[in-house]
A and B are shown apart, each in its own frame.
Chain A
Amino acid sequence: QKEVEQDPGPLSVPEGAIVSLNCTYSNSAFQYFMWYRQYSRKGPELLMYTYSSGNKEDGRFTAQVDKSSKYISLFIRDSQPSDSATYLCAMSGGLTGTASKLTFGTGTRLQVTL
């Protein structure tokens, strides 16, 4: 079983929809949680990071972490065709050494249609 599970999709939504992307994990030592966006044939780009449980909002993006359920989410409001990409969750431990070692989900491919 992988430490981080993520539905690969593809997920297809109409423009303007609210998108929900999710990851589950099994390692209770994970303390830092990140979401990356990756366009085709490009490197991942950091979207958001959160520490421990709670919510964080940045423009149209909201990240949620529920450590009790080992579940993290990324919500995209008013989705745009430019949001079409693969979204990767990533997480790491709370100590300096373990924080350097990110564990990624396999990514969810999102397609926003006109």
Chain B
Amino acid sequence: NAGVTQTPKFQVLKTGQSMTLQCAQDMNHEYMSWYRQDPGMGLRLIHYSVGAGITDQGEVPNGYNVSRSTTEDFPLRLLSAAPSQTSVYFCASSYDSFYGYTFGSGTRLTVV
């Protein structure tokens, strides 16, 4: 099993550009989430999904969109990148959300 795979690992965007961060898991997990990690702020939840076709907002959803058309994939879309979205983004998945998540290795995004 590859676990949770995130692509790309690094990305530099110009302000106003859009892009999609990819996340795929091969563990047949129903629960998937996106977090951003910033110094001094810890990990903050952006969006999450409890199954294909079902998504909801987390703590910091503004400027991001998600969809979940399959169990395996949970892409995160940045609509119009801003310097405030410079961060490390982590995707995570869980078989049963009560017992913890498996995280991907992250995408380091810089918006200039």
Contacts and interface: CB of A to CB of B under 8 A. Distances in A.
Interface size on A, as a range, is 20 to 34
A46 B93 CA distance: 12
Contacts of B33: 100, 102
7 contacts: A32-B99, A34-B100, A88-B43, A96-B50, A97-B50, A97-B56, A104-B44
B97 A42 contact: no
Given A100-B31, A107-B42, A49 B48 contact: no
Interface string A1-30: 000101010000000000000000000000
Given A88-B42, A101-B45, A101-B48, A44 B97 contact: no
Contact of A43 (B31, B48, B59, B104): B104
Contacts of A8: 40
Interface size on B, as a range, is 20 to 34
Given A44-B103, A100-B50, A102-B43, 14 more contacts: A4-B42, A6-B42, A36-B103, A41-B106, A43-B90, A51-B98, A92-B97, A96-B50, A97-B50, A97-B56, A100-B48, A102-B33, A106-B40, A107-B42
Contacts of A92: 97-98
9 nearest CB pairs, A to B: A43-B103, A106-B42, A46-B100, A104-B43, A104-B42, A99-B97, A100-B97, A49-B100, A44-B103
